[in-house]
Structure 1
Amino acid sequence: MASSGFSVYVGNIPYNATEEDIGNMFSSCGVVTNVRIVYDRETNRPKGFGFCEFQDQQGAQNAVTNMNGAELYGRPLRVNIASK
């Protein structure tokens, strides 16, 4: 997932947020091709971070520029280009 040059890391995701919430929010930055929230394998609860993939590099860059610090359910998101 994070190996694509068009993925962004999304941190500080509220535990009640869904992948659909993230996709809808980030669609204003570009064409979202995939969203994945990471879950704990033992508890099956969200870990509070995930990844959002875009169709192109511009969408990913727009997400970092426009969504870093944006609030979702009262929590400021941390958004960075995903490391490879």
Structure 2
Amino acid sequence: MNIYVGNLSYQVTDEELRAAFENYGEVSSAKVIVDKFSNRSKGFGFVEMARQEDAETAIKEMNDSDLKGRQIVVNQARPRNEGFRRSEGFGDRQRRF
């Protein structure tokens, strides 16, 4: 199960995020999302856990807990909205008369 972790301290690393969730079971991956230009944390990340039961326990236990001085938000990650594509912005609209 993929887990969203928000309100992360900008100092949290992938390894620290992984370690926090390993207390609840096997972590397949842990990634803090960073800005591609500044390489600075965006303050959220994702944790993939091997077993759904472990992930559900981690969500319950970790939500609203403290991680490096910040009260984190933890819930099941939702898939991106597949109907939206960035290239379909206002500049890409064509007028038809």
Q: Assess same fold via TM > 0.5.
A: yes
The answer as to 2:31 corresponding to 1:12 is no
Q: Distance in 2 between matches of 1:74 and 1:14?
A: 7
Aligned equivalent of 1:3: none
The answer as to 2:24 corresponding to 1:29 is yes
| TM-score for both structures, normalised by structure 1 | 0.89
Please give the root-mean-square deviation of Cα atoms over the aligned residues, in Å.
0.8
* Contact residue 54 and residue 60 of structure 1 kept, 8 A: yes
Gap regions ≥5 residues in structure 2: 80-97
Gap regions ≥5 residues in structure 1: 1-5
Aligned equivalent of 1:68: 63
Q: CA deviation at 1:73?
A: 1.2
Aligned equivalent of 1:52: 47
**Which is higher, the Rg of structure 1 or of structure 2?**
2
1:59 aligned partner, one-letter code: D
**Structure ranking higher in strand proportion:** 1
Kindly indicate whether structure 1 or structure 2 has the higher relative contact order, using CA contacts under 8 Å at least 6 residues apart. Answer: 1
**Structure ranking higher in helix proportion:** 2
Q: Distance in 1 between matches of 2:66 and 2:32?
A: 17
Percent identical residues: 38
2:58 aligned partner, one-letter code: A
Q: Distance in 2 between matches of 1:7 and 1:60?
A: 8
| TM-score for both structures, normalised by structure 2 | 0.78
Query: Moved runs in structure 1, 4+ residues, more than 3 A?
Result: none
* Contact residue 17 and residue 31 of structure 2 kept, 8 A: no
